[in-house]
Structure 1
Amino acid sequence: MAVRQIKNGKAAGPDNIPAEALKSDIGVTTNMLYPLFKKIWEEEQVPMDWKEGHLVKIPKKGDLSRCENYRGITLLSIPGKVFNKVLLNRMKDAVDAQHRDQQAGFCKDR
């Protein structure tokens, strides 16, 4: 399941929902997210919040008054990441079904 594929210990996105909250009870999470994902799939419209992220600067070593001593990361919505994993898994399955048995280059588990 896609929820289990999301890493723990990562910062929450703009919606402040951490991965651990979704993973704490997979059954409840599935019952909550399935209708939402189904609606998104049918309407072909992703929530705007999932398209946005918070840019956070992370200091590197050195003089912190210089811009090059920072790197930026974007905090994205965890439910949005779960939805992306669902899509990715479906796409992988569809592509794998099209491969011939003789085709093994760049294919996982072949």
Structure 2
Amino acid sequence: MRSVHKGLPKQSMVDPPAVSLDARDVAISVPDPPISEDPPTMNKVREAISKLKHETAAGKCDIPAELLKAGVEPVAQGLRVVLAAIWHSGSIPPDLLRGVVIPLWKGKGDRWHCSNYCDITLLSIPDKVFAHILLKQIRNHLPRHQRLE
């Protein structure tokens, strides 16, 4: 392999800056307001359950989305209790962090070559409800408080 610097004149090499950079004089803009840390409400849990797609893979727990949708009230109440406990503890149980990883062929190239595959992770359906609630909370916050670049 050929060296990148081979053939370049020595004066084209860049030296590090001689001036030290002092960040004490830099004005800090207004800090971002915090994202709401309130646990999910029943309405948010119901909405997340209603947005689940039918006939999707159940994931590692084998609970289909249709089951959650069929018993939306009792399921939403139970799920809200679990999600609120996770919310207040600040730690996600290891089971919610696990998913089933499926290599998916991109549809082109040699099927025997690993770079022709992309991995997808199947979350369990309750995990998807939790992820939907988290994403919605973050997405609602970002447009209102995004800084200009």
Compute the TM-score of the two structures, normalised by the length of structure 2: 0.54
* 1:8 is the counterpart of 2:54: yes
- For 2:102 and 2:84, locate their aligned partners in 1 and report how far apart those are by CA, in whole Å: 32
1:34 counterpart residue number: 80
Once the two structures are superposed, what CA deviation does each residue of 1:35-55 show, in whole Å capped at 9, x if it has no partner?
101000000111211211112
| Count of residue correspondences | 99
Q: Return the letter of the residue paired with 1:77.
A: S
Q: 1:94 and 1:56, CA in 2 relative to 1: closer, same or farther beyond 3 A? A: closer
Instruction: Specify which of 16, 23, 31 is matched with residue 69 of structure 2.
Output: 23
SS across alignment from 1:14: helix
Q: Which of 1 and 2 has higher RCO (CA within 8 Å, sep 6+)?
A: 1
Q: Which of 1 and 2 has greater Rg?
A: 2
1-side partners of 2:137 and 2:118: how far apart?
33
Partner residue of 1:108?
none
Q: Which structure: greater strand fraction?
A: 1
CA RMSD, Structure 1 to Structure 2 (Å)? 2.6
Task: Check the 8 A contact 1:11/1:75 in 2, yes or no.
Answer: yes
In structure 1, stretches of 5+ residues that fail to align are 100-110
Report whether the alignment pairs 1:78 with 2:129: no
Instruction: Identify if the C-alpha distance between structure 1 residues 66 and 94 changes in structure 2 by more than 3 Å, giving closer, same or farther.
Output: closer
Q: Which residue of 1 aligns with 2:94?
A: 48
Identity of aligned residues (%): 35
